[in-house]
């Protein structure tokens, strides 16, 4: 599975991290956060797994749930000595253009 977001880190973790994030579902649209285009990038160094992500709206009522689910899924696949840091950003703003082709088909676009 190739990630649809920028990734900078050990090649051995690319697929597991992408798969972990793909298991996190945005309950408002019933699609995973990778296909929705909420992941802006992942950087992994010797200390941290740093995920830049956004939401479709700042008024999203499930922000905390999505972040918690992402942390749980990442915790299952990254080495225990790495700290998981999920940074919520609003720039650039999310647009439907960020959605995968399958997500657009699911939405009927």
**Does the pLDDT at position 1 exceed 80?**
no
Count the domains in the chain: 1
Is residue 103 in a domain? no
Q: What's the whole-number mean pLDDT along residues 68-72?
A: 98
Q: What's the whole-number mean pLDDT along residues 58-77?
A: 95
**Does the pLDDT at position 74 exceed 90?**
yes
pLDDT tens figures, 4-62? 899 999 999 999 999 999 999 999 899 999 999 999 999 999 999 999 999 999 898 99
Range of the domain at 68: 7-94
d(CA 17, CA 96): 23
Does the pTM exceed 0.85?
Answer: yes
Which residues 6+ apart lie within 8 Å of 62 measured at CB?
26, 27, 28
List phi, psi (to 5°) of 101.
Answer: -60, -40
Look up the CATH number of the domain holding residue 29. Answer: 3.30.300.130
């Amino acid at each position: 599975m190739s990630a649809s977001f920028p990734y900078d880190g050990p090649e051995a973790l690319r697929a597991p991290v992408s798969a972990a994030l793909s298991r996190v579902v945005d309950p408002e649209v019933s699609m995973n956060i990778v296909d929705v285009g909420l992941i802006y990038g992942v950087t992994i160094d010797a200390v941290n797994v740093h995920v830049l992500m956004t939401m479709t709206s700042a008024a999203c009522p499930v922000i905390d749930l999505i972040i918690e689910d992402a942390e749980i899924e990442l915790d299952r696949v990254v080495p225990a000595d790495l700290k998981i840091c999920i940074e919520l950003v609003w720039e650039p703003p999310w647009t439907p253009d960020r959605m995968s082709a399958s997500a657009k088909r699911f939405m009927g676009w």
